[in-house]
Amino acid sequence: MRTSPSVRLALIIFSSSILHAGAADAAAPPSQDPASAAARGRVTPLAVQVTHPGMLAAETKRLTMKVSAVIDQVLQTPALKDPRGFSLTRSLKVDAPLTGYGWHPARGKVVMIAQDIDLSANPKPDAKGAYMGRLEGPSLHIGINDLTALYANVFSDPDADDFLTLPLMRISQQGYPVFRVGLRDVVLIAKPGKMPYVPVSKAEYLQSLLDAEAKSQAEFGPPTNPRAKAYQEKLFATKASLTAEEGTAPACASSRLSQVFGDCNEADASFYVRLNTDYFQRGQGAGTVQMITIEVPVEGRDGHKRLEPRLRDAAGALDLDAIAALLD
């Protein structure tokens, strides 16, 4: 079922407040003794799980090779090249494409988890003398071909015409945008001249609200609540005053119920967008890699003062142009 833009915005604001409140209460990791801090950490082999029912072995291999090249670069950063006091587990899950979008390559998700080594728990070293960590730890994610990677509250495949709110672009790293998505910073590496989203115009957004009002009125009759009547009148007045030029301008979310549109010129403006169904070049096979995201915990929000900075340092040291060169 499609969620209206105003309801979706409220859900995003509410969920964000819950996430940030939980992060503030995150327990700090226990102290680590010197011997454990100096112990060599193990980096596990990449575990691959394929849930895409139509994925051919050759396409899985093709995608895995590209993903492994990105992982290798992550592991060669100074922060992770010689892990001491922590281990790293690596996994790749290959999922089916979004439904309702025509042709779409397979989606991939790499999760790299850093865990503190605790020699007091008597872990067994491997043949190289490296130890596995234990308990919870922060993670670095690598997303492949995931059009929904920039949206914290998309729990299922959205409809192609659903409106979403683009998260705030925090910074630019080596010319690539970094978005704040929930409690994670997400670096977007897209094909030159293309983005995985399309801005929604004011005319489109306003019409969607009017359509929702018409549907509600057909089911429940005209509004009787004074606020609901005032809102409906506001929509009609906005439509009547909107010029053709204004209608083509981007639509941004408003934090005030009395305003249909927010100010897109504000530094923290939230643009309405829809997923770009024409982003992927068709006919290249399910294993093609056409979009990559790098995700790390927001600074100070994970609750792990030792390992969270390492993952952020690793992401910051990546050669993003080299990773972009891997795109098909």
How many Å is the maximal CA-CA distance in the chain? Answer: 75
How much of the chain exceeds pLDDT 90, in percent?
67
| pLDDT above 70 for 13 | no
pLDDT in tens, 169-188: 888 999 999 999 989 999 99
pLDDT at 4: 42
177 phi, psi to nearest 5 deg = -70, 145
The full set of domain ranges for the chain reads 5-199+282-324, 202-274
* Helices of type H across 221-261: 226-241, 244-247
Which amino acid is located at 300 in the chain?
A: G
Query: What is the per-residue DSSP string for 89-117?
Result: EEEEEEEPPPTTSSS-PPEEEEEEEEEE-
For residue 157, name the pLDDT band (cuts at 50, 70, 90): low
How much is the pLDDT for 223?
A: 85
Q: What is the pLDDT of residue 23?
A: 39
pLDDT band at 160 (very low <50, low <70, confident <90, very high): low
At 313, which amino acid appears?
Answer: D
Rounded mean pLDDT, 199-219: 92
**Dihedral pair phi/psi, residue 186, rounded to 5°:** -120, 120
pLDDT per position as a tens digit, 29-78: 678 999 999 999 999 999 999 999 999 999 999 999 999 999 999 999 99
Return the structure tokens found at 66. Answer: 């590209």
In this prediction, residue 228 has a pLDDT band, given cuts at 50, 70 and 90, of confident
